[in-house]
């Protein structure tokens, strides 16, 4: 009997607690009538494509922020969203970087994961890979329906370039054979999708290439503001004037110097360089020097060269090295690509220079009519580099400027970013009833300060921060989820929708070994 009363008491207690339990009514996912998301189209660059770890591969494509955003749209009645995913036998794309461990001192060990041969249709001199892979390729075409037009490497200045699919294999694979052969421009292709809603995150590459190459004009340049404004406004106007009169969300451009590609190597290194009185960096554009000075010097004096050793005669002029002494302050940045050589500073070596010369010889092999080796170019009488001097601490063996963004170059990159963002904002202001501005620059600033998602601390630190992938520029799955939330916040506020937020904690950061 006592047990019976106890059971009744426990039952009534449980009922009482249940009756008192607060009920939280989550908003019902809805567009609020302000937008139509039945046909959502994403236009953008590598960030929108899901590029990560210095490569485009299947896993990254599957968690690109437009894909995640479309999943949330679906909860509010959105239509199907198709992405140009690699097939399972093409899953590794053109390859990517992978973390396999750490050294005894805690430095990451990062290796290259080879790509999938089945992703490549052919190799050709007509195409170039805009993100650093060594071979020019044509990728296997994607033939299915597509809503994600994120194209790695594309710049605003490329949006209406006829034949851009020949030059950029990531765009070329999105075209059918007729579009490919007739050279259909990117802007024309995306306008034909007739979206009901679109996002646009373009412009990063118009300054990023200049910055990541250390302000090296032979490897990257800043798009002129007039060209940027003309093409950016044109593509947005054409999207808005397409058949379904869509609404859209436009993201601005983060300060490129605030990503791990620029913030990982420099802080400790600059302290040591300043303490050692290092002569800063070298303003010596190696690509130009190789083509315009070094090779002509060698080739133009063939009668005076030893035909076996290619030793130049004493009358050869030596290229003048011009180390520029500057303060190692917060406006000077080292690129992440300098990490393998940072430990060589102060040593009598020219490993960094040899790596650069090796890459240049490979790049310009078709222009060199006689066999030339790295050793030929590294001789002091040819290059002016003295590898017996302490690297980075002597003017005769300075740090190549391709690894350093100096104060003037940093100012150029930041000024361009500010100007591009003003153009993007003015575009939104012109169509204030149809567009919302997503402050990606503000998002990155918050990430640098540190954010917490679902109890997980994240920040913009390399590897440990969880937001940026192994290339120090592009996002991890967790970073993509956080970016999708920034779009959702802006869209809901602007258009009165209740698109559900993403559970960021479901997505991984950098994959640890």
In tens, the pLDDT along 478-490 reads 999 999 999 999 9
What's the pLDDT score for residue 494? 97
Q: Are 189 and 163 in contact (CB under 8 A)?
A: no
> Which residues partner with 199 through β-bridges?
42, 249
* Mean pLDDT of the 81-92 span: 97
Q: Nearest to residue 357, comparing CAs of 404, 311, 305, 402?
A: 402
The alpha carbon torsion through 42, 48, 49, 51 (nearest 10 deg) reads 180
Distance from chain centroid for Cα 19 = 53
The whole-number pLDDT of residue 130 equals 44
Give the model confidence (pLDDT) of 387-443 as tens digits.
Answer: 999 888 887 888 888 888 888 889 999 999 999 999 999 999 999 999 999 999 999
In this structure, are residues 66 and 42 in contact, taking their beta carbons and an 8 Å threshold?
A: yes
Long-range contacts of 137-141, Cβ-Cβ distance < 8 Å, separation of 24 or more: 137/94, 137/169, 138/169, 138/172, 138/173, 139/94, 139/169, 139/170, 139/172, 139/173, 140/87, 140/90, 140/173, 141/172, 141/173, 141/174, 141/175, 141/176, 141/177, 141/180
pLDDT at 8 exceeding the cut of 80: no
Rounded CA separation 307/119 (Å) = 43
- The pLDDT of residue 356 is 84
Percent of the chain exceeding pLDDT 70 equals: 81
pLDDT at 198: 98
Cβ atoms of 305 and 313 within 8 Å: the answer is yes
Contacts of 497 by beta carbon, 8 Å cutoff, 6+ apart? 30, 31, 32, 34, 35, 76, 491
CA distances from 103 to 55, 107, 109, 267 (A): 24, 5, 7, 20
Q: Does residue 257 register a pLDDT over 50?
A: yes
10 Å CB burial of residue 79 (0-12, 13-18, 19+) is middle
Q: Which of 139-143, 214-218, 430-434 has the lowest mean pLDDT?
A: 214-218
| Residue 331 vs residue 95, higher pLDDT | 95
Q: Where are the beta strands (DSSP E) in 454-499?
A: 456-458
Q: Which of 127-131, 218-222, 291-295, 322-326 has the highest mean pLDDT?
A: 218-222
Q: What mean pLDDT value characterizes the chain?
A: 85
pTM of the model: 0.87
Sign of CA dihedral 82, 84, 90, 91: negative
| Strand partners of residue 281 | 324, 399
Q: Give the chain's length.
A: 513
* CB-based burial label for 438 (10 Å; 0-12, 13-18, 19+): buried
The CA dihedral of 235, 240, 241, 242, to the nearest 10 degrees, is 90
pLDDT at 423: 98
Looking at residue 102, what is its pLDDT?
94
Q: Once rounded to an integer, what is the mean pLDDT over residues 87-114? A: 94
């Amino acid at each position: 009997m006592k047990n019976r009363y106890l059971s009744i008491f426990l039952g009534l207690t449980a009922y009482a607690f249940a009756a008192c339990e607060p009920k939280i009514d989550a908003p019902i996912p809805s567009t609020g009538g302000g937008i139509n998301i039945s046909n959502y189209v994403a236009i953008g660059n590598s960030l929108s494509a899901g590029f990560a770890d210095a490569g485009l591969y299947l896993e990254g494509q599957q968690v690109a922020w437009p894909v995640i955003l479309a999943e949330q749209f679906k909860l509010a009645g959105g239509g199907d969203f198709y992405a140009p995913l690699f097939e399972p036998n093409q899953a590794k794309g053109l390859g990517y970087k992978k973390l396999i461990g750490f050294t005894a001192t805690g430095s990451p060990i990062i290796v290259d994961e080879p790509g999938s041969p089945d992703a490549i249709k052919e190799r050709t001199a007509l195409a170039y890979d805009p993100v650093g892979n060594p071979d020019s390729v044509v990728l296997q075409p994607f033939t299915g329906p597509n809503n994600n037009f994120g194209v790695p490497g594309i710049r605003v200045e490329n949006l209406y370039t006829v034949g851009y699919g020949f030059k950029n294999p990531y765009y070329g694979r999105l075209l059918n054979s007729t579009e490919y052969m007739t050279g259909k421009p990117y802007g024309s292709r995306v306008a034909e999708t007739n979206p009901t809603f679109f996002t646009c995150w373009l412009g990063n590459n118009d300054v990023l290439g200049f910055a990541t190459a250390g302000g090296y004009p032979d490897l990257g340049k800043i798009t002129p503001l007039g060209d940027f404004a003309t093409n950016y406004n044109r593509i947005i106007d054409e999207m808005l004037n397409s058949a379904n009169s869509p609404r859209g969300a436009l993201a601005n451009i983060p300060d490129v110097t605030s990503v791990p590609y620029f913030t990982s190597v420099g802080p400790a290194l600059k302290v040591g360089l300043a303490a050692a009185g290092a002569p800063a960096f070298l303003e010596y554009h190696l690509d130009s020097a190789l083509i315009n000075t070094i090779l002509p010097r060698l080739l133009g004096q063939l009668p005076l060269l030893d035909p076996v050793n290619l030793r130049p005669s004493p009358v050869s002029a030596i290229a003048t090295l011009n180390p520029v002494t500057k303060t190692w302050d917060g406006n000077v940045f080292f690129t992440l690509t300098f990490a393998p050589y940072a430990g060589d500073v102060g040593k009598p070596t020219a490993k960094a220079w040899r790596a650069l010369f090796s890459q240049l010889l490979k790049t310009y092999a078709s222009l060199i009519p006689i066999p030339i080796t790295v050793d030929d170019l590294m001789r002091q009488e040819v290059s002016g580099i003295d590898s017996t001097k302490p690297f980075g601490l002597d003017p005769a063996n300075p740090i190549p400027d391709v690894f350093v963004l100096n104060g003037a170059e940093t100012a150029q990159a930041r000024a361009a970013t500010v100007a591009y963002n003003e153009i993007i904002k003015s575009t939104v202001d012109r169509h204030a009833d149809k567009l919302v501005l997503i402050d990606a620059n503000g998002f990155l600033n918050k990430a640098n300060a540190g954010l917490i998602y679902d109890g997980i601390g994240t920040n913009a630190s390399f590897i440990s921060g969880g937001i940026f992938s192994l290339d120090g520029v592009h996002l991890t799955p967790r970073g993509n989820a956080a970016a999708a939330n920034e779009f959702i916040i802006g869209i809901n506020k602007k258009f009165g929708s209740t698109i559900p937020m993403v559970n960021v904690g479901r997505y991984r950061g950098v994959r640890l070994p």
